[in-house]
Structure 1
Amino acid sequence: MPLISIIVAVYNVEKYIDKCLESILAQTFADFELILVDDGSTDRSGNICDSFALEDGRINVIHKENGGLSAARNAGLDIAKGDFIGFIDGDDYIHSEMYRLLYNEITTRNGSIALCEVIRVDNSECDIFSVIDNQQYHVEELSNMDVLERMHDIRGWLYVVACNKLYRKNIFDNLRYPLNRLHEDEFLAHRILFNTSKVVSINVPMYFYLQRDGSIMNVFSIKRLDALHAYSERITFFEEQGLFDLREKVILMMMLEFIHLYFSVAESEPNHKKSLKQYWHMYNKFLVYLLCRNSISVKQKLMFLLFFASPKAYKMVFNYRAKIRGTNFE
């Protein structure tokens, strides 16, 4: 049986999948199975996966109807044989030492999850040299509460995303990714981390996240509103667990995301502006809550009040202040 099951969701990435798979097969840690889930690709992605499978017996290809990233990951989880699970997106790539280091640290330190840093790259070539090549790295052992706090800080995405991690398989015994949702990691991350005994964090950049023009996260879609739904579920979860400080952090994040998405919808999808109405009542409810919290600054309270009174006035003030910084809503 393989020690690690690496699951790659593949959908219309024929330009990038070769580099992704080559980076996995070049791992210095070789005891893995590679599960490629072709999620109904309409280009040559599926054929490329089949070609790689003919050359390496560790590769298992699943061809299925298009169901989205969550369905693809779940399909891989259903057949995974390894004691540990890793996820990679089909247009990204990894350092050759990634799984060796993650495996060594998670087993040596008896962790539930091991994670590394992420580098955002564009379509141009990237030198994948990192500090690991000189063995200059630092490892932290974090409790579940440490990580739950960090996932709501400015670099919280590092703890939310799945692809820079190695998980013990039993974490997913009763968990699967939500179907038909964008921001699938946001829906599941807090549940995974809450039930984690120890997270091993390695300050080594070994996962290369490709930012490309056609990526779903770089094109506005009404499905981006799923982020608000994910935050709403997380607020309820923390409330049920009695974690009220974390609940407050998520409420603040949700309010800021709502404002951002409000203007994104108004400019990119004006016909769907009514889709935000279902979230207005939550904004109003949480506005009252935040106004009563001493931990929220007066500046933030005024910002939320101004948006509630007049989104148009809020935008004018924001753009006026942002001119100096060179950013605005336009």
Structure 2
Amino acid sequence: MTGLKTMAATEQPIILQRADPWVYKHDDGFYYFTASVPEYDRIEVRRASTIAGLAEAEPIVAWRKHETGMMSANIWAPEIHFIDGKWYIYYAAARTTETNDGLFDHRMFVLENESANPLEGEWVEKGQIKTMWESFALDATTFEHRGTRYLVWAQKDPDIKGNSNLYIAPMENPWTLAADGVMLTTPEYDWEVIGFLVNEGAAVVKRDGRIFISYSASATNHHYCMGLLEASEDADLMDPASWAKAPQPVLKTDEAIGLFGPGHNSFTKSEDGEDDILVFHARTYKEIVGDPLYDPNRHTFVRKLQWSADGKPIFE
């Protein structure tokens, strides 16, 4: 694919100040892009006929946060999907209170748009995705496998130490779970528990009979990094034993090339459909003043995803 290669010191972000980037390639010939904006106050969508073209594409505001109550603060990590003829955006939002800004009080929500072009039409709130607990929850992603649609998300189990684990559940419709979720992974390795005990930001890619779920771990500074789960396409995806977890991070800070805290990725396809493309955010410097969540300079990077001889994705 033109302009994409393995990591090199010359690699530059394609979109500045857009964290948690999500790129969806649709059958209308367009790539659709959404991400967290630095103000955390709205959801934007843009499109272009090429991945590189997303950099200059004009975004439209699909939705803005509420003034009060739930969905009034910290709008994080939107994803856009096309499901059964309609567009959906999954996102996390918190509430503004008198004592704080809702940090770490997130829940997951869904928007729906019936327009053929999601930059047009009306985005309708479908409400909160209800899970097993009324607790911190975010980073919902969805995929279909053999006739069943699944949701994968991050949530705080009140009985487990830490900030978030990853869960999977089948879906009744694009905004409702069909059953309780099961836990796929909890932070356990040293690289998953720096600053915060975090597994979040899941994304799914399939290849040659296997299903891979990438995810992000640790605090959102230079310690942020990516891990990987995998299962056979023939396995029971609701059985945690079906999933193998890589013991080492698959993408992490590389000071030699000026890439810090890479994570919260998505996957898409090249224009010719031949290559898998990795989309992720990272900073270009290490030292951050204040809370990393309020440093705006997590930028969107894109590179070709490589594959090893034994069929595993290579992120670096």
TM over 0.5: no
Whose helix fraction is larger, Structure 1's or Structure 2's?
1
Give the TM-score normalised by the residue count of structure 2.
0.28
Bigger Rg over Cα: 1
Give the TM-score normalised by the residue count of structure 1.
0.27
